[in-house]
Amino acid sequence: MVWQIPDYTPVRNITEPIITLEGHSKRVGILSWHPTARNVLLSAGGDNVIIVWNVGTGEVLLSLDDMHPDVIHSVCWNTNGSLLATTCKDKTLRIIDPRKGQVVAERARPHEGARPLRAVFTTDGKLLSTGFSRMSERQLALWDPNNFEEPVALQEMDTSNGVLLPFYDPDSSIVYLCGKGDSSIRYFEITEEPPFVHYLNTFSSKEPQRGMGFMPKRGLDVSKCEIARFYKLHERKCEPIVMTVPRKSDLFQDDLYPDTPGPEPALEADEWLSGQDADPVLISLRDGYVPPKHRELRVTKRNILDVRPPSGPRRSQSASDAPLSQHTLETLLEEIKALREQVQAQEQRITSLENMLCELVDGTD
């Protein structure tokens, strides 16, 4: 289910999703928005299938159902959304071209241990993977997809059962490793010079984390030199963890905040599906991030009346299934158009009333 979270404070409960996507036969465990194409969403389920959806129409764009023989552990887009990196219970790291439906590169057992793997793309197209050694030591490896024989760099850490979740920041080339059940976050810088992976520091707390979320760069407070914000899941609460760089100046720090991907897509879903690629549309954070207006997702199902009947000899038809006359069809289309305009007008009126009510509530406070 896909939900629209409004920019204003809602005055009534949001009880209905804007669209429900149905296609997996088992529960969905992974979701990932396409980095550059509008309304394109990837899902991976317990049925070992990856589906790419157009959320704006509710349609399945692609279904990759014969590439993974076992449970999919992680899926990640590359920077422009032309490739996917996946890890699977069969201990294989794959790079997939989803539009061609092909595995373009793969590496069996990038980590020798039996525990689950995770992988993310870096900005320059390399891959960061986390896993376990044969002796159950947790590892971070950097791979060049053009040469999967040996890792570019391999960093060994401690012995623990917690799977390491990598969160990669493309602006600073820092990867944050959050272990399930750990009470710490390690972070490393990825560079182009040996040894390529540099340990920076560890953030420690008292309580273990059950899961972790990562705020996009445009959601950070640039006035406080905030470079990362995590949302740590406890048993009964969600705790924000803020990471900042100490600076004496109050001025905007250009080195900390290069232009970063914004919310505007670079491509439409149909353009991406046809084979086009584009880098993310970047925005400056110099004055902080201000969400653009009118960001509501409009779901438009395909009009079945636009689908032409199959060509060929017509079968005999009874009066009940005789084709509609041109006049009747035009009348139906006019009625549908009028209903659509009426619904849109009511939506605008409801939104306007909600905004007025918010202003009244704020005024009384």
Percent of the chain with pLDDT over 90: 71
* H-only helix segments in the chain: 269-273, 326-364
Q: Over 80: is that where the pLDDT of 100 sits?
A: yes
* Per-residue pLDDT tens over the stretch 111-130: 999 999 999 999 999 999 99
Beta bridge partners, 260, equal 283
Cα 259–260–261 angle (5° rounding)?
Answer: 135
* Per-residue pLDDT tens over the stretch 145-204: 999 999 999 999 998 889 999 999 999 999 999 998 999 999 999 999 999 999 999 999
Percent of the chain with pLDDT over 70: 92
Q: Could you give the CA distance from residue 111 to residue 129 in angstroms, rounded to a whole number?
A: 9
Q: What per-residue confidence (pLDDT) applies to 303?
A: 57
Quick one: which of 196, 201, 197, 208 has its CA closest to 227?
201
Q: What per-residue confidence (pLDDT) applies to 316?
A: 41
Q: What per-residue confidence (pLDDT) applies to 335?
A: 82
pTM, 2 dp: 0.80
Q: What per-residue confidence (pLDDT) applies to 171?
A: 95
Q: Which two tokens stand for residue 93?
A: 């790291």
| 323: confidence class by pLDDT, cuts 50, 70, 90 | low
Q: What per-residue confidence (pLDDT) applies to 48?
A: 97
Q: What per-residue confidence (pLDDT) applies to 10?
A: 76
* Per-residue pLDDT tens over the stretch 196-248: 999 999 999 999 999 999 999 999 999 999 999 999 999 899 999 999 999 98
Q: Could you give the CA distance from residue 128 to residue 166 in angstroms, rounded to a whole number?
A: 8
